[in-house]
């Protein structure tokens, strides 16, 4: 009954580019660059042959993706070595890969964004350091039986959360884009694809071949800060276009894209890091609002989908979607036609901790996940999976299926050459970031042309770095910023009503725009970004040298989507 209902809903409401609703109607994901002749022949068939020849230990290793302590693969400082020994029984990241025969590793950053609290360490410092780390990790992975059997064409999956905006793991030295909402405000899928192609090139340069982006969540709840500016907006059709463009951009340069958080985290008020969010609405609403961007991303060829720790009551009430075959197999694979790798959200998050680590690992694989992200106890996860294989509870065929998908992805990634470090933060890349920031600036209240700041400016709010960026950008337009003048107040991530300035002539929102509905300023701008490119774009609008063409991708109480008819 559920399967039939889902099928009907998919055919009736998810019309964003699939060929049809028959099972298996979505083709295998395509990469924009054709593999060199002879390097890969039928990767899926080759991957299946490799998987059947692997030992249980090698199969289990391929589905595990933990983090490691230390900023170098083979030689780390003693605190990092001690932490690795405590967690894994080895001293270095390279030893970790070899001991557990890992299929992947995630690079993490401990602080600075909403999801950083779940990362126990930081192992990213600069592009050069990350490149040395990933080179060493690939050398370690090259010695594993799976890689040897593939003739060296089986790279380690090295992933990170590089969404840009508030969730950006690798920052220093990289070209940073604004938030996903900025792309939604700019509403230019061609520019989005170009920007994500640039971002993917920089990731590939430093050895990251899996990006846990783009966020495909549709944010419908007014004031929702759980996903916040990580979402492209509130309109499923507009979000779908942005998601598809991001997938094409990333995968066009050999970085696998990940749609998250399936089946949709945008209509929740609970953070799944802390508790199990409930999607309490029916399948009709799920199909109309949450699922279209995932379907669009699948049609664009996304190689991974991240299962969310979400209670989709219309499908599997009381069970996290990440542990539900009804969600991951019946819906995602059988109805939406996804053929790639399903990766779990962090296995150390609260909903996944309902079971001991070994049991959770087994349940997650049986539910339909192929790759387990950040298991909180790697040894226990490995042991649980091996014991389940030995007892028959976890059929070897299911493990081979999961590993075949992982190896298929690896063989595709092997077709791409690594760009030179000189491509990072190039003038061309900075130009792309500036173009997005400029097109995103939105006037919610006030004039849409001419100089919005007369004489000098007094910048308040934000961080000292953000104020410095805006000060310098205004100076380039002949506007001096100091202790007196027109007050321009900045609001950013995490700010509330107490952070507003009631006397500011101009208020600029740098993150989600919801707070701007409470602002009394005569001029209200939404930048949807908090980096130097966003501040330059804001300065150009304040100086009257650029026309604001952005349109808020989410509703703001008491405000139009734009005060400018051209927007």
pLDDT at position 343 is 98
The residue-averaged pLDDT of 36-44 equals: 63
Domain that holds residue 228: 2-66+96-135+155-423
Percent of the chain with pLDDT over 90: 85
> Tens digits of per-residue pLDDT, 234-260?
999 999 999 999 999 999 999 999 999
Q: Which of 273, 334, 425, 495 is catalytic?
A: 273
Residues 230 and 295 in one domain: yes
Closest alpha carbon to 553 in 536, 530, 529, 528: 528
CA distance 270 to 226: 7
Instruction: Decide: 219 and 113 in contact? Cβ < 8 Å.
Output: no
Q: Rounded distance, CA 40 to CA 51, Å?
A: 16
Question: Is residue 489 annotated as part of the catalytic site, yes or no?
Answer: no
CA 362: distance to chain centroid?
25
Distance from C-alpha of 390 to C-alpha of 453, rounded to nearest angstrom: 71
My answer on whether 461 and 500 are in the same domain is yes
Same domain, 388 and 485: no
161, 215, 311, 345: which one is catalytic? 345
What is residue 40's predicted lDDT score, i.e. its pLDDT?
53
Whether residues 391 and 266 share a domain: the answer is yes
The reported pLDDT for the residue numbered 38 is 40
Least confident among 48-62, 211-225, 313-327: 211-225
Instruction: Tell me, yes or no, whether 562 lies in a domain.
Output: no
Read off the pLDDT band of 225 (50, 70, 90): confident
Please indicate whether residue 261 is annotated as part of the active site.
no
394, 534: one domain? no
Phi, psi at residue 525, to the nearest 5°? -115, 145
pLDDT at 33 exceeding the cut of 60: no
Would 467 be classed as within a structural domain?
A: yes
**Per-residue pLDDT tens over the stretch 374-419:** 999 999 999 999 999 999 999 999 999 999 999 999 999 999 999 9
**Pairwise CA distance, residues 442 & 424, whole Å:** 29
Least confidently predicted of 13-22, 399-408, 414-423, 466-475 = 13-22
Contact 467, 459 (CB under 8 A): yes
* In a domain? residue 51: yes
- Nearest Cα neighbor of 461 from 434, 428, 496 is 496
User: What is the C-alpha separation between 217 and 361, in angstroms, rounded?
Assistant: 25
- Domain CATH code at residue 510: 3.40.50
Q: Which pLDDT value is given to residue 222?
A: 67
Number of domains in the chain: 2
Task: Identify whether 428 is part of a domain.
Answer: no
**Burial (CB count within 10 angstroms: exposed 0-12, middle 13-18, buried 19+), residue 372:** buried
Asked whether residue 73 is domain-assigned, the answer is no
Reported as a single tens digit per residue, the pLDDT across 127-150 is: 999 999 999 999 999 999 999 999
């Amino acid at each position: 009954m559920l399967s039939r209902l889902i099928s009907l809903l998919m055919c009736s409401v998810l019309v964003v580019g699939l060929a049809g609703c028959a099972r298996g109607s979505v083709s295998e994901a395509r990469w924009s660059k054709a593999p060199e002749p002879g390097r890969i022949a039928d990767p899926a068939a080759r991957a299946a042959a490799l998987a059947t020849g692997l030992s249980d230990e090698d199969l289990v290793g391929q589905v595990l993706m933990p983090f490691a302590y230390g900023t170098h693969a083979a030689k780390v400082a003693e605190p990092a070595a001690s932490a690795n020994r405590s967690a894994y029984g080895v001293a270095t990241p390279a030893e970790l890969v070899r001991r557990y025969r890992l299929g992947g590793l995630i690079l993490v950053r401990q602080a600075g964004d909403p999801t950083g609290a779940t990362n126990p360490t930081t192992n990213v410092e600069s592009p050069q350091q990350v490149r040395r780390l990933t080179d060493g990790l690939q050398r370690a992975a090259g010695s594993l039986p799976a890689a040897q059997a593939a003739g060296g064409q089986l790279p380690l999956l090295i992933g990170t959360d590089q969404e840009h905006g508030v969730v950006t793991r690798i920052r220093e030295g990289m070209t940073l884009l604004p938030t996903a909402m900025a792309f939604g405000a700019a509403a230019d899928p061609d520019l989005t694809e170009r920007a994500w192609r640039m971002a993917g090139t920089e990731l590939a340069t430093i050895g990251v071949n899996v990006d846990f982006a783009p966020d495909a969540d549709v944010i419908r709840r007014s004031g929702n800060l759980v996903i916040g500016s990580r979402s492209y907006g509130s309109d499923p059709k507009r979000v779908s276009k942005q998601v598809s463009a991001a997938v094409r951009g990333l995968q066009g340069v050999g970085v696998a894209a990940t749609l998250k958080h399936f089946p949709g985290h945008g209509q929740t008020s609970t953070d799944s890091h802390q508790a199990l969010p409930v999607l309490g609405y029916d399948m009709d609403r799920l199909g109309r609002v949450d699922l279209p961007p995932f379907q669009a991303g699948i049609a664009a060829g996304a190689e991974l989908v991240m299962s969310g720790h979400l209670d989709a009551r219309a499908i599997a009430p009381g069970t996290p979607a990440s542990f539900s075959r009804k969600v991951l197999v019946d819906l995602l694979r059988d109805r939406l036609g996804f053929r790639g790798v399903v990766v779990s959200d962090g296995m150390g998050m609260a909903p996944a901790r309902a079971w001991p680590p070994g049991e959770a690992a087994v349940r997650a694989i049986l539910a339909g996940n192929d790759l387990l992200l950040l298991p909180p106890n790697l040894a226990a996860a490995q042991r649980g999976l091996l014991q389940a294989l030995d007892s028959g509870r976890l059929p070897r065929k299911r493990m081979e299926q999961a590993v075949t998908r992982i190896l298929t992805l690896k063989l595709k990634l092997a077709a791409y050459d690594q760009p030179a470090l000189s491509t990072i933060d190039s003038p061309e890349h900075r130009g792309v970031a500036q173009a997005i920031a400029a097109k995103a600036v939105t006037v919610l209240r006030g004039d849409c042309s001419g100089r919005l700041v007369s004489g000098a400016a007094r910048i308040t709010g934000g961080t000292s770095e953000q104020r410095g960026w805006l000060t310098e950008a205004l100076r380039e337009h002949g506007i001096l910023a100091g202790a007196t003048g027109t007050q321009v107040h900045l609001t950013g991530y995490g700010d509330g009503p107490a952070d507003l300035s009631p006397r500011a002539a101009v208020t600029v929102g740098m993150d989600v725009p919801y707070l701007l509905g409470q602002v009394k300023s005569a001029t209200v701008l939404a930048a949807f970004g908090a980096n130097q490119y966003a501040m330059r774009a804001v300065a150009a609008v304040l100086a009257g040298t650029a026309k604001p063409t952005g349109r808020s991708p989410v509703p703001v109480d008491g405000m139009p989507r734009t005060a400018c008819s051209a927007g």
